[in-house]
Amino acid sequence: MKCETIIKKYLDTLESEFVCLPASNERQRVVTPYLYPDHDRIEIYVREKNGGVVVSDLGETLRRLDNLGMDVLGNRKRQFQSQHILDGLSVKIKEGVIYKDGEKEKVGELIFDVLAACKAVADLVYGTRAFEPATFENEVLKFLQEKNFEVKPKVPILGESGSKYKVSMQVNVRSKEALIATLSPKSAGGVRQQVNAVFRMWSDINHGSWKLSLINDQDFVFRQEDILLIKRVSPVYHWTKRDELVSALNKN
């Protein structure tokens, strides 16, 4: 194939995937084929202002990262990384909104730069623990299977209150079933929230189940008061001392 044909085919595909729709406040909403880490499409907004145009994400990029447990502006390292990306594209950020303004004739360039900035900033999430809680569960699952335990992940349990829960895993030990809750939050700031959630779950599951809690103390610091709180409703085991969990399972 000729280079001209390859480029034309690619641009034709891109053009067919872009959608432009009217939005509020005299903006145009541009839905692009590019994706955020959660696989939703990146959307850009274009508005005429003072004879030119402003292209922005209306703050959506940082909102999505926040939902994934990644604070950009409140973390010095991530703020530096994101600002370095934005500076390289001459894109600005104000009150969480990524934007760039310029002449109407350059709206294509503005969209390209803002899109590139949003994608690059959003992809910073892959370097954080925001995508790793499931990985910790899988690590525990694999570890127990290697110890010859029969393990079932993400077991649905109905609490006495009628609330539905998904316990990290169920381990079959002879005639007994052990429910294990793994605690590995998305960020250090989420430790207490997860402790509270596990405490509530175990307090609500009271139909003779053998309940165990496993904390990821390899990557996070759990305060003594948080551990004591969980101990009121289940034994607590540490990932750095995982053999103690194996011993407890083998004894019952």
Q: How much is the pLDDT for 129?
A: 57
- pLDDT tens column, 222-237: 999 999 999 999 999 9
Q: How much is the pLDDT for 134?
A: 53
Segment 57-76 shows an average pLDDT of 88
Segment 214-219 shows an average pLDDT of 91
CATH code of the domain made up of 3-127: 3.30.1460
- pLDDT tens column, 124-165: 988 765 555 557 898 999 999 999 999 999 999 999 999 999
Ranges in the chain annotated CATH 3.30.1460: 3-127
Distance CA 166, CA 151 (A): 14
Share of the chain above pLDDT 70, in %: 97
Distance CA 3, CA 183 (A): 52
Q: How much is the pLDDT for 39?
A: 86
Residue 188 has pLDDT above 90, yes or no: no
Residue 102 has pLDDT above 80, yes or no: yes
Distance of CA 41 to the CA centre of its chain: 16
Looking at this protein, which amino acid is placed at residue 92? K
44-78: buried (b, 16+ CB within 10 Å) or exposed (e) per residue?
bbbbeeeeebbbbbbbbbbebbbebbbebeeeeeb
Q: What is the mean pLDDT of the chain?
A: 91
Segment 9-27 shows an average pLDDT of 93
Q: How much is the pLDDT for 189?
A: 77
Ranges in the chain annotated CATH 3.40.1350.10: 132-251
Domain 132-251 has CATH 3.40.50.970: no
Contacts of 236 (CB under 8 A, 6+ apart): 213, 214, 215, 227, 230
Distance CA 248, CA 234 (A): 13
Distance CA 53, CA 109 (A): 11
Q: How much is the pLDDT for 240?
A: 94
92-106, 115-129, 153-167 — which is least confidently predicted? 115-129
Between residues 82 and 185, the one the model is more confident about: 82
Model-wide pTM > 0.85: no
Q: How much is the pLDDT for 76?
A: 86
Beta-bridge mates of residue 209? none
